């Protein structure tokens, strides 16, 4: 009898049995449910068929700059009229979903209901829509939250997404390299100039990380792009610090009617 051939397999099967019992007990206490409507499911985090059918994934053709869907395809370099008229401060943005229905509810639960495990559900969608951006990115940088908000929500949802995406893509994540130094008001209902004023001076690059960012390609990670003001303010701060390329990757975005320009 050798230790490796008999004792280890027995110990392994004991551990597997214990783990299975633990999982059964955990299921009894906390049944696996749809992340949105709480229907019981076989796995979690996951969505039930009804909630899944209400997701609207963004598909080509899209605007090469902002990533919004376009009504018809004029090639991979097509840009929407709004991006031509108001060129974004970032280079390219990509989002997996239109921000409505299930996507809106899912992000709301992820953000405000202490459900960090939802990041595991969202990350594969983020990775699929951002595959071109991830190819030669140096760092993932989450859109930062002010410390007060982190304390009230318990975590920064963008940092949770960046953490899981970094694990699956291999692109390093740098939390705290970009910091939120001003507590801003909620942007809802503000016009463009008010939003700009509200976010003025809100972000800074950590002073001892400026040299490490010069000439790099970074991807800003956010849960949702609504007006775009927050990612614009972050992109301007990073550009000023010398970052070469700034892309944005979000789970969802608000989509208005867009027209192709080029
Ligand atoms: Zn459901």
**Cα-to-centroid distance, 110 and ligand 1 (Å):** 15
Q: Can you tell me the mean pLDDT for 37-64?
A: 92
CATH number of the structural domain spanning residue 178: 3.40.50.2020
Task: Look at residue 14 in the predicted model and tell me its pLDDT.
Answer: 54
Bridge-based pairing state of the strands 92-98 and 245-253: parallel
Task: Look at residue 100 in the predicted model and tell me its pLDDT.
Answer: 96
Task: Look at residue 3 in the predicted model and tell me its pLDDT.
Answer: 40
**Cα-to-centroid distance, 39 and ligand 1 (Å):** 6
**Cα-to-centroid distance, 55 and ligand 1 (Å):** 11
**Cα-to-centroid distance, 35 and ligand 1 (Å):** 7
**Cα-to-centroid distance, 68 and ligand 1 (Å):** 26
**Cα-to-centroid distance, 253 and ligand 1 (Å):** 21
**Cα-to-centroid distance, 53 and ligand 1 (Å):** 9
**Residue 24 placed within a domain:** no
- Distance, CA of 93 to CA of 81 (rounded, Å): 15
**Residue 142 placed within a domain:** yes
**Cα-to-centroid distance, 105 and ligand 1 (Å):** 10
**Cα-to-centroid distance, 109 and ligand 1 (Å):** 13
- Distance, CA of 73 to CA of 145 (rounded, Å): 37
The number of distinct structural domains making up the chain is: 1
**Cα-to-centroid distance, 211 and ligand 1 (Å):** 46
Q: What integer best gives the mean pLDDT of the chain?
A: 87
Question: Residue 22 pLDDT > 60, yes or no?
Answer: no
**How would residue 208 be classed by pLDDT, with cut points 50, 70 and 90?**
very high
**How would residue 150 be classed by pLDDT, with cut points 50, 70 and 90?**
confident
Task: Look at residue 7 in the predicted model and tell me its pLDDT.
Answer: 47
Q: Which of 196 and 40 is assigned the larger pLDDT?
A: 40
**Cα-to-centroid distance, 93 and ligand 1 (Å):** 29
**Residue 258 placed within a domain:** no
**Cα-to-centroid distance, 239 and ligand 1 (Å):** 41
Q: Can you tell me the mean pLDDT for 239-257?
A: 94
**Residue 43 placed within a domain:** no
**Cα-to-centroid distance, 28 and ligand 1 (Å):** 20
**Cα-to-centroid distance, 85 and ligand 1 (Å):** 40
**Cα-to-centroid distance, 104 and ligand 1 (Å):** 13
**Residue 212 placed within a domain:** yes
| Residue 104 domain boundaries | 49-253
Task: Look at residue 15 in the predicted model and tell me its pLDDT.
Answer: 53
Question: Residue 188 pLDDT > 90, yes or no?
Answer: no
Q: Can you tell me the mean pLDDT for 21-31?
A: 56
Q: Can you tell me the mean pLDDT for 17-35?
A: 64
**Cα-to-centroid distance, 106 and ligand 1 (Å):** 10
| Cα dihedral 173/174/178/181 (nearest 10) | 110
Q: Which of 180 and 26 is assigned the larger pLDDT?
A: 180
**Cα-to-centroid distance, 54 and ligand 1 (Å):** 10
Q: Can you tell me the mean pLDDT for 83-99?
A: 95
**How would residue 4 be classed by pLDDT, with cut points 50, 70 and 90?**
very low
Task: Look at residue 182 in the predicted model and tell me its pLDDT.
Answer: 82
Which token pair is 2?
Answer: 């050798």
- 132 closest CA partner among 74, 76, 88: 76
Quick one: CA dihedral 52, 53, 56, 57, positive or negative? positive
**Residue 11 placed within a domain:** no
**Residue 42 placed within a domain:** no
User: pTM of the prediction?
Assistant: 0.84
Please report which residue ranges of 30-146 form alpha helices under DSSP H: 49-53, 81-85, 101-112, 118-129, 131-134
**Residue 41 placed within a domain:** no
Helix (H) and strand (E) counts in the chain: 11, 6
Q: Which of 245 and 148 is assigned the larger pLDDT?
A: 245
């Amino acid at each position: 009898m050798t230790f490796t051939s008999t004792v280890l397999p027995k110990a392994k099967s004991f551990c597997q049995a214990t783990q299975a019992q633990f999982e059964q007990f955990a299921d009894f206490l906390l049944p696996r449910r749809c992340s949105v409507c709480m229907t019981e499911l076989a796995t979690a985090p996951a969505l039930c068929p009804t909630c899944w059918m209400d997701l609207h994934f963004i598909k080509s053709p899209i605007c090469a700059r902002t990533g919004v869907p376009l009504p018809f395809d004029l090639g991979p370099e097509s840009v929407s009229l709004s991006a031509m008229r108001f060129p974004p401060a970032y280079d390219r943005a990509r989002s997996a979903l239109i921000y409505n229905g299930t996507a809106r509810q899912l992000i709301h639960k992820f953000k405000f209901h202490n459900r960090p495990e939802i990041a595991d559900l969202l990350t594969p969608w983020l990775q699929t829509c951002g595959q071109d951006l991830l190819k030669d990115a140096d760092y993932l940088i989450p859109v930062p939250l002010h410390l007060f908000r982190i304390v009230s929500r318990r975590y920064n949802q963008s940092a949770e997404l960046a953490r899981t995406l970094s694990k699956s893509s291999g692109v390093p994540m740098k939390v705290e390299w970009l910091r939120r130094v001003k507590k801003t008001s909620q942007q809802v209902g503000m016009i463009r100039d008010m939003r700009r004023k509200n976010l003025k001076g809100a972000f800074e690059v950590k002073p001892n990380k400026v040299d490490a960012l010069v000439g790099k390609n970074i991807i800003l990670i956010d849960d949702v792009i609504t007006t775009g003001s927050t990612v614009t303010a972050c992109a301007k701060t990073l550009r000023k610090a010398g970052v070469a390329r700034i892309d944005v990757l979000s789970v969802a975005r608000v989509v208005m009617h867009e027209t192709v320009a080029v």
